[in-house]
Amino acid sequence: MTPTVDLAQITAATFADARYGIFINNEWRSAQDGKTFTVENPATGDVLMTIPDAGAADAQAAIDAAYAALPAWSALPAGQRADMLRKVAALMLERRERLATIMTLEQGKPLAEARGEITYAASFLTWFAGEAERVYGQIVPANTPNKRILVLRQPVGVCALITPWNFPAAMLTRKLGPALAAGCTAICKPAEQTPLSALELGHLFVEAGFPPGVVNIIPASNPIPFSNAIFDDERVRKISFTGSTEVGRILITNSAKTIKRMSLELGGNAPFIVFDDADLTAAVRGAITSKFRNSGQTCICANRIFVQRGIYERFAEAFTREVAGMKVGNGLLPDSNIGPLIDLPARDKVQRHVENALAHGAQLLTGGTPLPAEANPTRTFWTPTVLANASTDMLVAQEETFGPVAPLIPFDDEEQAITWANDTPFGLSAYFFTRDVSRVFRVAERLEFGIIGANDALPSTAQAPFGGVKQSGLGREGGSVGIDEYLEVKYLALGI
């Protein structure tokens, strides 16, 4: 039986004392032109908050604030910057329940996943606090006795950080952690659908003692005024963007104007390969986790599930049994595994992919429809779906579905699996399950992806470099290299 949860009461209590605005210089401001926009709950359609809608003048004010704060922040000893980052991480963990509730309310993911994201998001601040203290230079042997060669690493400067709605906290801290650790200041632009998670973090930065102007957060319903402001302004030295490949392409073009450094974490089309010799239980569990986390709305989620013919029937049966048992519902209900999709266009894409697959010969093993109307107030809930005998030419294999749809594609041998897996312009993450250690190396080395999970469906962690090749992006976030994206290398030639 579904436990009783008073959803309206949770929403009211969460936002009763909430104070959000455009966050500049540690102040909560209205938009200069007085505009506002609403943030809605994708599970109910209810308005959660009405907040200021930043325009060009607000973006400019944020750049001014970040630029003014830069000299003192970058001059602060790294240990002090690290202490403040650790303090925000500790506050995030202390307030995890509140932060997770806000996330579920505005994004829709099940509360357990939102809690997990807050912990994951905090880990980037802790990790990069450590890295702040390890920004080393070099002294290189010169080829003349009266010369010394020194290599310094210095903060890039003011950074604009643009994040998507699917991981409203972690995508932000994965950028803010290294930027602040390196000594940069930041202007953050959260997605229109999920600004509250970011703004709530603003309060924690104030509480942790961050000086005014170091972190600025600009909620907006239209990204273009913000985008124009940062690309036109010479003082913004770096853009870090996570989102669609389509928008990434626009940002690369825009960056030509004032030659910005760019980091781009873009879309994926992850293959998930199950070889005949895989541990079936582990492969099924892995595929469930990879495919259905956040209702399939993750950039590294399995998009194409290739299953070798010798294990195909057993995998399809065990996988479908698990999927059919998943519970779709409001993310605040403790037994929900699958929340709503973010909006109707996302729902329509899922429907288009399913219909296209069925029209081209796939068979439906479970799901395939939206939830019935009485349980689907926003029409964005989709039942987790498994499609058998899908093929590589279907939309569901060609495009990132970004929804709870798992196409199973049978394959014959290792060569075919690798060829099909690589046959995409994207190269973010790939997975395979096998017990053969030689195959682990053979396949991992040939897959053209930035992240490979071999018998591991959850590779994301602050300690590892995250990022894609091909049209999935430029640069890496996390790991020991993550901070390099926010550092310039300066060469000092010294005659003595």
Residues that bind ligand NAP (CB under 6 A): 162-167, 171, 189, 191-192, 220, 223-224, 227, 242-244, 247, 250, 265-268, 299, 400, 428, 468, 473
* Closest among 379, 387, 442 to 409, alpha carbons compared: 387
The count of C-alpha atoms lying within 13 angstroms of the C-alpha of 341, restricted to the half-sphere facing its C-beta, is: 23
DSSP state, residue 218: -
191/447 with CB nearer ligand NAP: 191
* Closest among 133, 103, 106 to 118, alpha carbons compared: 103
Catalytic residue, chosen from 117, 131, 200, 265, is 265
Kind and range of the H or E element at 174? helix 170-182
Distance between CA atoms of 66 and 227, rounded to whole angstroms?
16
311/447 with CB nearer ligand NAP: 447
Least distance (Å) from ligand NAP to the CB of residue 111?
A: 20
Catalytic residue, chosen from 159, 184, 188, 299, is 299
414/477 with CB nearer ligand NAP: 477
294/385 with CB nearer ligand NAP: 294
Least distance (Å) from ligand NAP to the CB of residue 438?
A: 30
73/241 with CB nearer ligand NAP: 241
Which residues lie below 8 Å from residue 356, measured CB to CB, with a gap of 6+?
A: 394, 395, 396
Which residues lie below 8 Å from residue 4, measured CB to CB, with a gap of 6+?
A: none
Which residue is closest to ligand NAP by CB?
Answer: 243
First to last CA, the chain: 80
429/434 with CB nearer ligand NAP: 429
Structure tokens at 310: 């010798």
301 is catalytic: no
Residue in this structure with the two tokens 């997605």, named with its chain if needed:
191
Least distance (Å) from ligand NAP to the CB of residue 388?
A: 25
Name the region of 153 (left: φ>0; alpha: ψ -120 to 50; beta: rest): beta
299 is catalytic: yes
Least distance (Å) from ligand NAP to the CB of residue 429?
A: 9
Phi, psi of 9 (to 5 degrees): -65, -40
Least distance (Å) from ligand NAP to the CB of residue 418?
A: 22
183/248 with CB nearer ligand NAP: 248
Q: Does residue 364 contact residue 385 with C-beta atoms inside 8 Å?
A: yes
Least distance (Å) from ligand NAP to the CB of residue 243?
A: 3
407/410 with CB nearer ligand NAP: 407
The count of C-alpha atoms lying within 13 angstroms of the C-alpha of 375, restricted to the half-sphere facing its C-beta, is: 14
Distance between CA atoms of 341 and 240, rounded to whole angstroms?
25
Amino acid at 488: E
Least distance (Å) from ligand NAP to the CB of residue 97?
A: 24
Distances (CA, A) of 232 to 59, 223, 229: 11, 14, 5
Burial 388-407 (b: 16+ CB within 10 A, else e): bebebebbbbbbbbbbbbbb
Least distance (Å) from ligand NAP to the CB of residue 130?
A: 22
Residues involved in catalysis = 265, 299
